[in-house]
Amino acid sequence: MDEKTYYLVYEERYKLVYEAGVERWGHGEDDVGLRASLTEWVDRCNLRGKRVVEFACGEGASGVILSQLGCLYHGVDVAPSAVAKARAALAGYPGAKVTVLDMAHEPVEGQYDAALDVMGFHMLVVDADRAAYLQNVHSCLKNGAPFFLFRESYREHADDSPVDSFERWLKLTGDDYRTPQTRCAGPADAQVEVQIPMVPARAKTEAGYRKELLEAGFVVDCFQPMMTDMQIVSSAAIYAHRP
């Protein structure tokens, strides 16, 4: 794994999980917390019937929820295997589409009324990739459009010092992204053990997130630390908009 490929390991992770017989690796549309938060956001921002783009859409759970809420949905993700799952999940919604896209290096075409990121942004650890990602979000949004980041890794005392390369990240953390570890996947009543390595994820402080979003041209409306849940130990919901 190197600086050009560290976030592309998600494709390998999805493949390994599916080969083990697991139908879904990430959260589903039955995620109560996700559905409640998206419903509140859609209603408060008047997004029914509007175009919503989701960065790092994964297997499409948010897309199903947003489509059921009446949004016109476009999901993008770097992992082809996850995109295939998302397309299948959204096949019954004519206003939805999903495409493969390297969101740190490729812009999304078109203009959208809102953008969503669920546990995606924190998977970019290099400063330049994070800045490019946020700029791509900013560029595809209409003026005044909301941007909702949900369950982003957050630590009150995280190290917000610069990370100019993946090698620098490895030195800072000492994390092992090569050795397979035992993880459980699948529904609670049919868990399957899979051997997969850890993947990079960068927690930030509230001040760190606010600084990044401000530099990308966003206004942060609300930062809410979240309670521990099954998806992530310590996270935050960040409500922002393009002015």
Q: What share of the chain is helix, strand, coil (3-state, %, to 5)?
A: 35, 25, 40
pLDDT band for position 2 (50/70/90)? low
Q: Are 115 and 42 in contact (CB under 8 A)?
A: no
Average of pLDDT values for 41-45?
Answer: 98
Mean pLDDT computed over every residue of the chain:
94
Q: Say whether 115 sits in a helix, a strand or coil.
A: strand
Residue with tokens 């939805």, as numbered in its chain: 96
Residue with tokens 């529904």, as numbered in its chain: 187
Please report the pLDDT score of residue 157 as a whole number.
94
Q: Are 17 and 87 in contact (CB under 8 A)?
A: no
Beta bridge partners of residue 170, listed in sequence order: none
pLDDT band for position 186 (50/70/90)? confident
Higher pLDDT, 4 or 174: 174
**What type of residue sits at position 108?**
V
What is the sign of the dihedral through the CA atoms of 230, 236, 237 and 240? negative
**What's the rounded Cα separation, in Å, for the pair 238 and 132?**
18
pTM of the model: 0.95
Domains of the chain (ranges, CATH numbers): 6-241 (3.40.50.150)
Tokens of 13: 């992770």
Q: What is the pLDDT of residues 56-93, one digit of tens each?
A: 999 999 999 999 999 999 999 999 999 999 999 999 99
Which of 16-30, 72-86, 110-124, 148-162 comes out lowest in average pLDDT?
16-30
Q: How many CB atoms lie within 10 A of CB 233?
A: 11
CA-based Rg of the chain, rounded to a whole angstrom? 17
Share of the chain above pLDDT 70, in %: 96
**What's the rounded Cα separation, in Å, for the pair 124 and 104?**
9
For residue 183, CA distances in Å to 60, 167, 195 come to: 22, 26, 6
Q: How many CB atoms lie within 10 A of CB 53?
A: 25
Q: What is the pLDDT of residues 161-175, one digit of tens each?
A: 999 999 999 999 999
